[in-house]
Amino acid sequence: MFASSLLLLLLKACTYVGCNPTIGDVVVDRYSIPILCPREVKSGDYVRYHYNVTFQDGKTFDSSYERGAASVGQTGQGRLIAGIDKGILGMCVNEKRKVTVPPHLAYGSLGAGDVVPPDSTLVFDLMLLDMWNKADLVVTETVSSPRDCKRSVKRTDFVRYHFNGTLLDGTPFDSSYNKGQTHDSLVGEGWLIKGMDEGILGMCVGETRNIIIPPFLAYGEKGSGKEIPSQATLVFNVLLADLHNPKDDITVENQVVPEACARKSVAGDYMRYHYNGTFLNGVTFDTSYQRNNTYNTYIGMGYVISGMDKGLQGVCIGERRRVTLPPHMAYGEQGAGKDIPGSAVLVFDIHVIDFHNPKDSVEVHVTHKPEVCNLTSDVDDLIHYHYNCSLLDGTRLFSSSDYDNLQDTVLGADKVIDGLDEGLRGMCVGERRTVIIPPHLGHGEKGATGVPGSAVLHFELELMDLQKGVPEGYLFVWVEDAPLELFQAMDINQNGEVPIEEVCHLPHSWNRLVENRWIRPSIILMGVKVPSTPFKCNIFFQSQFNDIRFIAPDNCILWTAGLVPTCTVSH
């Protein structure tokens, strides 16, 4: 009986009453009106509403609340009882009103079975939940938009967006924020409801938009699950996180390109660079600056994601560029860890610090050469020089000006890095040059104190002094009196003898006793005359002692000789 009364109430009103009563016969009490009312019910609209129906004495005989399902109908088409058809006109969503319907606009003199007696006045307590019209379109409203919009959503694009979804009355039914992840979909390919496919077109990354979708462009009569009822208008608040097209390639924006660029990176080079990694909406997911270390890698060889492999080629040292990678050239649908979601477009702001190739040699550029140059530096020479050392981006590392004395070294003695040793050869006194040293001839992958690993080094050099050395395999013999204090300095324990052990532990002060030029022989034969005590000392220096420095006075003669294995002293 209850079901039959409901059917009569909603669908067959015109059987019992005239279809054109005067509106004055309906009494409307709008006791709750929302502040905002963008649209009112008009004849021909579809409505979804809750109701309680009572007699004038307050007795309830029907309620949509008790059934747990709102009522749906179209106004102005005779599908509702005449009193409701008129009483619901002008309502706003979320409005509550009481509509008192006289018998002739309800069930008239016949009533409705055992539920509604004849000539009953009915009081409907209505709450409007939804309204739409078959002529409705998808309605979009931009809430906020970025200042710069270089690209907007088109059909076949892939989008990632956050959303809050509500019914027209504000009841939430879904939210990507609650799930902690964006909703990801192709546009215009049937992955989304038709209204969303249409409503998201033209959006920019970072734009927030309200999209109102009528039921026939959403889930229609079937609804969706328990949250979206039949014939529900849906309201989405959408924030577009990023977009790309499956056909996209990387995009490169050059921001700072050095005026002088003698070389550009190619596949196979090893590069050191800083980067900030963000999504299209500007949210940072990683940065090398925070770790205070460059990212170092070979390029064009698959050591990094394919988009970066491509984007790092053709750059100059010191260049800054922005590289945008579509997901299929980054981390794809799977993403990477917790920080990079699936299908994310990545933006890298890159600063190239340096790059080199494992096949690189030392680069020497002479910036000044004296007019007269009769002598050039070579292996075994003792040299004094000025230098400034920096990274290729200009970062200062070391300078001889930081010290009181000139820098000195014996070339070929493994006293400096290989590349510097090579770069100092063939110089004239007064010559200036710049030397570029790749890491495999510098401090290598591990670096050194103050020098990053795999760093290319830039040296500015000036040769200040050059003293030719004695070639290996030579003897040198004094033919006149040796310096007066030489024997005493060599005779550490003052016992009148100089064994090999004492020669190998000469005090540093000995270096200050005599002058002239340094040599680095592997074999030395000394004939020395000390006042009233002439002596002869034959010394054999093994290779581990080759870095000990000796003095060759002007009154010495050099002879080729064989090995002399011991050191003895005779008076």
Q: For 136-195, how does the pLDDT look when each residue is reduced to its tens digit (9 = 90+)?
A: 999 999 999 999 898 999 999 999 999 999 999 999 999 999 999 999 999 999 999 999
Q: Tell me whether residue 565 is in a domain.
A: no
Q: Tell me whether residue 169 is in a domain.
A: yes
Q: Tell me whether residue 47 is in a domain.
A: yes
- 61 pLDDT more than 60: yes
- 355 pLDDT more than 90: yes
Q: Tell me whether residue 387 is in a domain.
A: yes
Exposed/middle/buried for 386, CB within 10 Å: 0-12, 13-18, 19+?
middle
Poorest-pLDDT segment among 2-16, 169-183, 339-353, 498-512: 2-16
pLDDT digits (tens, 9 = 90+) for 390-438: 999 889 999 999 998 889 999 999 999 999 999 999 999 999 999 999 9
- 565 pLDDT more than 60: no
Q: Do 297 and 410 fall within a single domain?
A: no
Q: Tell me whether residue 67 is in a domain.
A: yes
Q: Do 12 and 116 fall within a single domain?
A: yes
Specify the higher pLDDT residue, 323 or 561: 323
- What pLDDT band is residue 485 in, cutting at 50, 70 and 90? low
Handedness of CA 549, 550, 552, 557 (dihedral sign): negative
Residues 559 and 542: their CA atoms lie apart, in Å, by 19
The pLDDT of residue 314: 95
Helix (H, G, I), strand (E, B) or coil at 380: coil
Query: Cβ(277)–Cβ(344) under 8 Å?
Result: no
- 209 pLDDT more than 60: yes
Q: Tell me whether residue 255 is in a domain.
A: yes
Residues 473 and 57: their CA atoms lie apart, in Å, by 129
- 299 pLDDT more than 80: yes
Q: How many domains, the chain?
A: 5
**What is the CATH classification number for the domain harbouring 396?**
3.10.50.40
From the CB of residue 370, how many other CB atoms can be counted at a distance below 10 Å?
11
The pLDDT of residue 505: 53
- 547 pLDDT more than 50: no
- 223 pLDDT more than 70: yes
Query: Cβ(161)–Cβ(176) under 8 Å?
Result: yes
CA atoms within 13 A on the CB side of 301: 12
Give the residue among 404, 428, 407, 406 at the shortest CA–CA distance from 416: 407
The pLDDT of residue 560: 32
The pLDDT of residue 495: 78
The residue out of 326, 356, 386 marking a domain boundary is: 356
pTM: 0.71
Residues with Cβ within 8 Å of 78's Cβ and at least 6 positions away in sequence, in order, are: 13, 14, 19, 85
Q: Do 148 and 70 fall within a single domain?
A: no
The pLDDT of residue 498: 61
CA atoms within 13 A on the CB side of 10: 18
The residue out of 423, 443, 467 marking a domain boundary is: 467
Query: DSSP assignment, residue 19?
Result: S
Q: What angle do CA 562, 565, 567 make, to 5 degrees?
A: 115
From the CB of residue 340, how many other CB atoms can be counted at a distance below 10 Å?
17
Residues with Cβ within 8 Å of 301's Cβ and at least 6 positions away in sequence, in order, are: 267, 268, 309
The residue out of 356, 387, 410 marking a domain boundary is: 356
Q: Do 437 and 422 fall within a single domain?
A: yes
Query: Cβ(183)–Cβ(342) under 8 Å?
Result: no
Q: Do 286 and 178 fall within a single domain?
A: no
pLDDT digits (tens, 9 = 90+) for 118-140: 989 999 999 999 999 999 999 99
The pLDDT of residue 526: 40
Q: Do 126 and 13 fall within a single domain?
A: yes
Rg (alpha carbons) of the chain, rounded to whole number = 46
Residues 414 and 112: their CA atoms lie apart, in Å, by 112
Poorest-pLDDT segment among 10-14, 226-230, 264-268: 10-14
* Structural domain for 83, as ranges: 2-132
Query: Cβ(329)–Cβ(307) under 8 Å?
Result: yes
Query: Cβ(87)–Cβ(126) under 8 Å?
Result: yes
Q: Which two tokens stand for residue 463?
A: 């040769």
Helices (H), 50-95: 64-67, 82-87
Q: Do 198 and 287 fall within a single domain?
A: no
Q: Which two tokens stand for residue 267?
A: 């596949």
Q: Would you list the DSSP string of 275-314?
A: EEEEETTS-EEEEHHHHTS-EEEESSSSSS-HHHHHHTTT
Q: Do 306 and 399 fall within a single domain?
A: no
Strands (E), 214-283: 234-244, 251-256, 270-279
Q: Tell me whether residue 569 is in a domain.
A: no
Please list, residue by residue across 137-164, b when 16 or more beta carbons sit within 10 angstroms of its beta carbon and e when fewer do.
ebbbeeeeeeeeeeeebeeebbbbbbbb
Residues 307 and 288: their CA atoms lie apart, in Å, by 18
pLDDT digits (tens, 9 = 90+) for 80-100: 899 999 999 999 999 999 999
Q: Tell me whether residue 367 is in a domain.
A: yes
Q: Which two tokens stand for residue 274?
A: 């800083």
Residues with Cβ within 8 Å of 355's Cβ and at least 6 positions away in sequence, in order, are: 265, 269, 270, 271, 272, 299, 315, 317, 456
Give the residue among 363, 160, 154, 121 at the shortest CA–CA distance from 262: 363
Q: Do 405 and 489 fall within a single domain?
A: no
Q: Do 173 and 293 fall within a single domain?
A: no
- What pLDDT band is residue 515 in, cutting at 50, 70 and 90? very low
Give the residue among 104, 106, 90, 100 at the shortest CA–CA distance from 124: 100
The pLDDT of residue 468: 85
Q: Which two tokens stand for residue 563?
A: 């090995």
The pLDDT of residue 21: 41
The pLDDT of residue 411: 93
The pLDDT of residue 85: 93
The residue whose two tokens read 């492999």 is 309
Q: What is the dihedral of CA 35, 227, 52, 114, to 10 degrees?
A: 160
Q: Do 196 and 289 fall within a single domain?
A: no
Residues 108 and 105: their CA atoms lie apart, in Å, by 7
Residues 299 and 309: their CA atoms lie apart, in Å, by 5
Q: Do 22 and 108 fall within a single domain?
A: yes
- 200 pLDDT more than 60: yes
- 49 pLDDT more than 50: yes
Q: Which helix (H) or strand (E) holds 9?
A: helix 2-11
Residues 9 and 61: their CA atoms lie apart, in Å, by 11
Mean pLDDT of the chain: 83
- 349 pLDDT more than 70: yes
Q: Which two tokens stand for residue 361?
A: 């040699």
